[in-house]
């Protein structure tokens, strides 16, 4: 079930990163798309059709595509506030308490992120940066095979911490009550039941019922990711989310049952999810293999887990922890869990990871729900240059330039000199004229 790999084989299989955009679509998916959109249309072409029709036809296109793709077209796109409140009131007390705890911790974490305007007069006049929140943000919450209220919390609360005045949530038709309850708990009033590429188009372009937003955040399936690619430049985006992934580095001190449980938790997300263990201990590797097989028997999503572990999971045997850390840094995983005796020391070797989970009691599931940081993290190796969703994703920085007369005159000739080097004579003249007097 969970295969053992040497490093060269792992590099060619489970540790290999395929180039972005090179997707081989399953034949069943292609046939399904062609049935709806016409012969020769692939998923990318289908998304282009959806986006263009929503841009031109607004709500009418939303209704058409919701009926075609979700088999339901709601009479009203916006979910009534009373329905969200009823969903919240109907929560089991234990679930309500858990969600309230999650909200409290996520809000407290993001409230501590330092984001401030500043100015200085040490460079002549006044220079600085003015920080302002984005005016209107759209949050996409997927429906898929399971309701994900945590995705709503992890996207909405950082935006609120940044001071975003208006937040719009879109989620597929007939949303699960727990999604509505989470929205009510966060104080969200605008929840629209529309999903997929058509939801992103509605938020990017605006329709009669759904307002245009300035930035869209939130993960989704293939069609949502393709829609983001098409909408780049039209609206702000948080990134292109790929299949989720966890990498665990463990030594002989780790508990095999705990490591196995963490790998299984990751694999149950999606058949394309990655759950990879790096360890120098063959004894631990074999014990984790046995635990995975034992624990899998009692899990409700065993079929999905089995597919994930077969396609994208495994154990890589390394000569030492330093090599494991180097491999992890090269892979740049979304989540990197350090189940080792001295996690802090090993963490110093890691530069590329969406989230670092230090020690076996800081396991990923706590990060998914209640630890505090947003669980929206960079996937597909983008942790080399991208960050988890945070308050900075919801603010804009405006440069402030208010130079005094002395500084202005001192800078004009250097500016003109650079302008002449660039053969931009009007730039040079604009600087020189300041030196020639007020006329």
| Token pair of 400 as six digits | 């402030």
Residues in the chain: 439
Q: What is residue 29's predicted lDDT score, i.e. its pLDDT?
A: 81
Q: What is the DSSP letter of 195?
A: -
| Token pair of 15 as six digits | 């540790």
Q: Which of 312, 334, 337 is nearest to 324 (CA)?
A: 337
Q: Among residues 110, 269, 335, 375, which one is catalytic? A: 335
pLDDT band at 283 (very low <50, low <70, confident <90, very high): very high
pLDDT band at 23 (very low <50, low <70, confident <90, very high): low
**CATH superfamily entry for domain 243-385:** Nitrogenase molybdenum iron protein domain (3.40.50.1980)
Cβ neighbours, 10 Å, residue 109: 18
The angle that helices 93-111 and 149-162 make with each other, rounded to 10 degrees, is: 30
Whole-angstrom distance, CA of residue 185 vs CA of residue 179: 10
| Token pair of 348 as six digits | 């110093």
Domains 81-231 and 243-385 in one fold:
yes
Average pLDDT on 32-55 reads 91
- Please, what's the largest Cα pairwise distance for the chain? 86
For the stretch 350-409, pLDDT in tens is: 999 999 999 999 999 999 999 999 999 999 999 999 999 999 999 999 999 999 999 999
When mean pLDDT is compared across 152-161, 218-227, 246-255, 377-386, the lowest value belongs to 218-227
Q: What is the pTM of this model?
A: 0.91
Q: What is residue 219's predicted lDDT score, i.e. its pLDDT?
A: 86
Whole-angstrom distance, CA of residue 73 vs CA of residue 62: 8
Q: What is residue 20's predicted lDDT score, i.e. its pLDDT?
A: 62
Q: What is residue 32's predicted lDDT score, i.e. its pLDDT?
A: 86
Give SS3 for 16: coil
For this structure, is 39 an active site residue? no
Whole-angstrom distance, CA of residue 84 vs CA of residue 158: 21
For the stretch 166-216, pLDDT in tens is: 999 999 999 999 999 999 999 999 999 999 999 999 999 999 999 999 999
Rg (CA), the chain: 25
Per DSSP, the residues of 363-405 read -HHHHHHTSSS-S----TTGGGT---S-GGGGEEEEEEEE--H
Q: Which of 247, 275, 245, 270 is nearest to 148 (CA)?
A: 270
Q: Among residues 245, 268, 334, 364, which one is catalytic? A: 334
Enumerate the H helices of 77-221 as residue ranges. Answer: 81-89, 93-111, 149-162, 177-186, 196-205
**Cβ(126)–Cβ(119) below 8 Å:** yes
Beta-strand pair 215-217/274-279: unpaired
For this structure, is 351 an active site residue? no
Instruction: Say if residue 143's pLDDT is above 80.
Output: yes
Whole-angstrom distance, CA of residue 354 vs CA of residue 333: 7
pLDDT-above-90 percentage for the chain? 85
Task: Tell me which residue has tokens 């719009």.
Answer: 168
For the stretch 55-73, pLDDT in tens is: 999 999 999 999 999 888 8
Q: Which fold would CATH assign to domain 81-231?
A: Rossmann fold (3.40.50)
Q: What is residue 46's predicted lDDT score, i.e. its pLDDT?
A: 92
The angle that helices 177-186 and 81-89 make with each other, rounded to 10 degrees, is: 100
Instruction: Say if residue 146's pLDDT is above 90.
Output: no
Sheet strands side by side (includes 355-358): 4-5, 314-317, 274-279, 245-250, 335-339, 355-358
Residue 111 has φ and ψ, to the nearest 5°, of -65, -20
Q: Where are the domains of the chain?
A: 27-70, 81-231, 243-385, 403-436
For the stretch 76-134, pLDDT in tens is: 999 999 999 999 999 999 999 999 999 999 999 999 999 999 999 999 999 999 999 99
Residue 276 has φ and ψ, to the nearest 5°, of -130, 135
Mean pLDDT, rounded, of the chain: 94
Whole-angstrom distance, CA of residue 17 vs CA of residue 15: 6
Instruction: Say if residue 428's pLDDT is above 60.
Output: yes
Q: Which of 248, 250, 246 is nearest to 340 (CA)?
A: 250
């Amino acid at each position: 079930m969970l295969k053992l790999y040497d490093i060269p084989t792992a590099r060619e299989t489970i540790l290999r990163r395929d180039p972005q955009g090179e997707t081989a679509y399953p034949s069943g998916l292609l046939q399904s798309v062609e049935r709806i959109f016409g012969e020769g249309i692939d998923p990318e072409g289908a998304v282009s059709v959806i986006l263009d029709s929503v841009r031109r036809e607004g709500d009418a296109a939303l209704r058409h595509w919701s009926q075609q793709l979700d088999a339901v077209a709601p009479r009203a796109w916006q979910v009534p506030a009373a329905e969200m409140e009823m969903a919240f009131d109907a929560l089991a007390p234990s679930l309500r308490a858990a969600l309230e705890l999650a909200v409290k911790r996520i809000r407290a974490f993001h409230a501590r992120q330092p984001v401030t305007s500043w100015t200085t007069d040490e460079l002549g006049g006044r220079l600085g940066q003015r920080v302002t929140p984005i005016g209107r943000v759209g949050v996409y919450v997927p429906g898929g095979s399971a309701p994900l209220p945590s995705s709503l919390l992890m996207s909405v609360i950082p935006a609120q911490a940044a001071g975003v005045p208006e937040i719009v949530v879109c989620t597929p038709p007939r949303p699960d009550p727990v999604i509505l309850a989470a929205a009510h708990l966060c104080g969200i009033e605008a929840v629209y039941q529309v999903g997929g590429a058509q939801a992103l188009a509605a938020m990017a372009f605006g329709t009669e019922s759904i307002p245009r937003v300035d930035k869209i955040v939130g993960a989704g399936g293939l069609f949502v990711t393709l829609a983001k690619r098409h909408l780049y430049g039209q609206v702000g985006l948080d990134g292109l989310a790929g299949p989720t992934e966890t990498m665990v580095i463990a030594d002989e001190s780790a508990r095999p049952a705990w490591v196995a449980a963490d790998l299984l938790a990751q694999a149950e997300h999606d058949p394309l999810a990655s759950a990879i263990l790096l360890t120098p201990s063959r004894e631990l590797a074999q014990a984790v293999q046995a635990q995975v097989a034992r624990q899998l028997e009692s899990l409700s999503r065993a079929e999905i887990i089995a597919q994930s572990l077969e396609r994208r999971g495994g154990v890589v045997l390394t000569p030492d922890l330093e090599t494991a850390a180097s491999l992890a840094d090269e892979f740049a995983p979304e989540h990197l869990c350090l189940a080792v005796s001295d996690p802090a020391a090993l963490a110093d070797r890691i530069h590329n990871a969406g989230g670092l989970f230090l020690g076996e009691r800081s396991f990923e599931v706590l990060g998914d729900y209640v630890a505090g940081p947003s669980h929206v993290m960079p996937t597909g190796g983008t942790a080399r240059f991208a960050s988890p969703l945070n308050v900075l994703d919801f603010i804009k920085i405006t440069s402030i330039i208010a130079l005094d007369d002395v500084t202005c005159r001192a800078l004009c000739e250097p500016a003109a000199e650079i302008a002449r080097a660039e053969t931009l004579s009007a730039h040079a003249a604009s600087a020189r004229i300041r030196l020639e007097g007020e006329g």
